[in-house]
Amino acid sequence: MDHAPCTPAPTAPPPPCDAPADAERRGFLKITGGAVALLAGLDAAANTETHAPPPGGDAYNWEEHRWAYVIDTSKCIGCGSCVRACKAENEVPEGFVRTWVERYISGPGGSYVDSPKGGLEGFPPVPTAFTPTKAFFVPKMCNHCKETPCVQVCPVGASYRTKDGVVMVDGKSCIGCGYCVQACPYGSRYLNPVTHTAEKCTWCYHRITKGLKPACVEVCPTSTRIFGNMLREDEPVRQIIDHERVSIMQGHLLTEPQCFYLHLDMEVR
């Protein structure tokens, strides 16, 4: 329903944030080093964006999709359904999460942040030493950055970004060095204790390429999580990003995250 084939050619989507022109960031060594590689007669500057073959066969055309995600923090009730759905859908190992919910409690006298088990079992009441004046939940996950440091630093090209805008890890090629885990400004990656390779949110790529929503979006009872195709003007994500005052996290790093937030508080980092 959400992803019916769109026949009218969509207009070029506007840049979702005020990025300066089309300057490609995190391509520094890609360009300069590319020249070195040419001199050496080696074409090593491989394009990491076309790492995997287009999935989904004929039914899905990744040229017609560019995925984005909106999180309306004012709607989140901290139920943890998204965390549980994600773990079940993606077989996330015990003790790890691909999406999690943080609880913020603050007042003039102080602030408190926690995320017990990532919010997997919801949030028990917590006493604070100060008198809280506001409290809210913030769901977090991989931000699927356009200019992502994780792809930049991966020594073997196991981290890559698909043409439809999803950052993924090739588990068959990952060497488990952990460099991407620390390069991520959003803390979204972990080393799987069974496979010993890096893993992260894929926006349920196996689902979205079949016309389904990511598991976390599917189960969210309050529509906090909204997911869709930026190449279609009628999609709610596109509407919100185009017309509302959205914000992004760690904006100063210019990673161009594709997770957009509504009603983000200054406490959130």
Partner 1 sequence: MTGILEFLKGCGRQIKTGNRAYFVWVGALLVAIGIGLVAYVHQARVGLIATNIRDQVSWAFYVGNFTFLVGVAAAAVLLVIPAYVYHWGPLKEVVLLGELLAISALAMCLLFILVDMGRPDRMLHMFPLLGTPNWPRSLLAWDALVLNVYLILNVVVVLYILFQAYNGKEPNKKILLPLVLLSIPISISTHTVTAFLYNGMASRPYWNASILAPRFLASAFCSGPAVMIILFQVLRKTTSIPIKDEAIWKLAELMAYAMFINLFLLGAELFKEFYSQTQELRYTQYLWFGIGGHKALVPYAWGSLVASVAAFFIFLVPRLRQNWVTLNLGCLLIWSGVYIEKGLGLVIPGMTPDTLGEIYEYRPTLTEWSIAVGIFGVGFLIFTILVKISVPILVGTFKTGGAAPASH
Question: Which of 204, 215, 223, 188 is CA-nearest to residue 97?
Answer: 188
Q: Where are the alpha helices (DSSP H) in the chain?
A: 28-39, 81-90, 149-153, 179-183, 205-208, 215-219, 236-243
Interface with partner 1 (CB under 8 A), residue from 73, 99, 143, 152? 152
CA–CA separation, 240 and 261 (whole Å) = 10
Q: Of 181-240, which residues contact partner 1 (CB under 8 A)?
A: 181-187, 189-191, 193, 196-198
Per-position b or e across 145-173, b if 16+ CB within 10 A of its CB:
bbbbbbbbbbeeebbbbbebbbbbbbeee
Name which of 152, 146, 186 is nearest 166 in CA terms: 146
Q: Work out whether the CA dihedral 168, 187, 74, 240 comes out positive or negative.
A: negative
Residues 16-45 that bind partner 1 (CB under 8 A): 27, 29-30, 32-34, 36-37, 42, 44-45
- Block residue for tokens 């904006």: 251
Indicate the residue among 88 and 156 with the shorter CB distance to partner 1: 156
d(CA 210, CA 15): 26
Q: Parallel, antiparallel, or unpaired: how do β-strands 134-140 and 167-169 relate?
A: unpaired
Nearer to partner 1 (CB atom), residue 117 or residue 210: 117
Q: Please give the span between the terminal C-alpha atoms of the chain, in angstroms, as a whole number.
A: 35
Q: Which of 6, 116, 173, 218 binds partner 1 (CB under 8 A)?
A: 173
Partners of 67 in beta bridges: 229
Least CB distance to partner 1 at residue 251 (A): 12
Choose the binding region for partner 1 from 53-61, 83-91, 161-169, 179-187 (rule: CB under 8 A): 179-187
Which of 70, 154, 168, 241 is the binder for partner 1 (CB under 8 A)? Answer: 154
C-beta of 48 vs 239, nearer to partner 1: 48
Nearer CB in complex with partner 1: 102/235: 102
Q: Does 269 bind partner 1 (CB under 8 A)?
A: yes
Residue 119 binding partner 1, by CB under 8 A: no
Q: Shortest gap between Cβ of 180 and partner 1 (angstroms)?
A: 9
Question: In this chain, which of 74, 113, 210, 223 binds partner 1, going by CB under 8 A?
Answer: 113
Closest among 216, 198, 203 to 162, alpha carbons compared: 203
- If the CB atoms of residues 30 and 207 are measured against partner 1, the closer one turns out to be 30
Asked if 50 interacts with partner 1 (CB under 8 A), we say no
Place of tokens 């993924």: 168
Residues within window 248-267 making contact with partner 1, judged by CB under 8 A: 250, 253
- Name the site residues for partner 1 (rule: CB under 8 A): 27, 29-30, 32-34, 36-37, 42, 44-46, 48, 96, 102, 113, 140, 149, 152-158, 173-179, 181-187, 189-191, 193, 196-198, 250, 253, 269
